[in-house]
C-alpha cells in the first residue's frame, strides 16, 4: 500500500515531513524542510537564513542514513561551538 502526503505526493520511509530537520547530503547541511514541490525540496537553516533547493534523493530526516548528524542536539552543539 502506498503512503501519500497531504499534497498527494507519494511518500517513502525516508521522506521527511515539512517542518522537520532534514539532512542535505549533497551540501552536507541540516535545514528545516519548508516545502516540497515539482521534484524539489526547499530547506532553510534552523537558525534562520536563506532557503535552498535540494533533490529529494539528497534529503532525509535528521538521524536517518549514513553520514547524517545523529541528533538535533549534536548538530546545534557543534554549530554553537563554531560561532
In a domain, 48, yes or no: yes
In a domain, 9, yes or no: yes
Phi/psi at 56 (5° precision) = -55, -35
Residues 6+ apart with CB under 8 A from 80: none
In a domain, 81, yes or no: no
Q: What's the pLDDT band for 73 if we cut at 50, 70, 90?
A: very low
Q: To the nearest whole percent, how much of the chain has pLDDT over 70?
A: 59
Residues 6+ apart with CB under 8 A from 74: none
In a domain, 59, yes or no: yes
Give this prediction's pTM.
Answer: 0.63
- pLDDT per position as a tens digit, 49-66: 999 999 999 999 997 655
In a domain, 64, yes or no: yes
Q: Which domain holds residue 16?
A: 3-68
H/E stretch holding 41 reads strand 40-44
Domain total for the chain?
1
Please report, for the domain that includes residue 49, its CATH number.
2.30.30.140
| Cα(78)–Cα(10) distance, integer angstroms | 34
Amino acid at each position: 500500500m502506498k503512503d501519500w502526503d497531504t499534497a498527494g505526493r507519494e511518500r517513502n520511509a525516508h521522506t521527511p515531513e515539512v517542518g522537520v530537520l532534514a539532512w542535505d547530503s549533497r551540501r552536507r547541511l541540516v535545514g528545516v524542510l519548508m516545502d516540497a514541490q515539482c521534484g524539489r525540496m526547499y530547506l532553510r537553516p534552523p537558525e534562520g537564513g536563506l532557503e535552498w533547493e535540494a533533490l529529494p534523493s539528497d534529503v532525509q530526516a535528521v538521524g536517518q542514513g549514513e553520514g547524517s548528524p545523529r541528533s538535533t542536539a549534536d548538530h546545534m552543539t557543534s554549530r554553537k561551538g563554531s560561532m
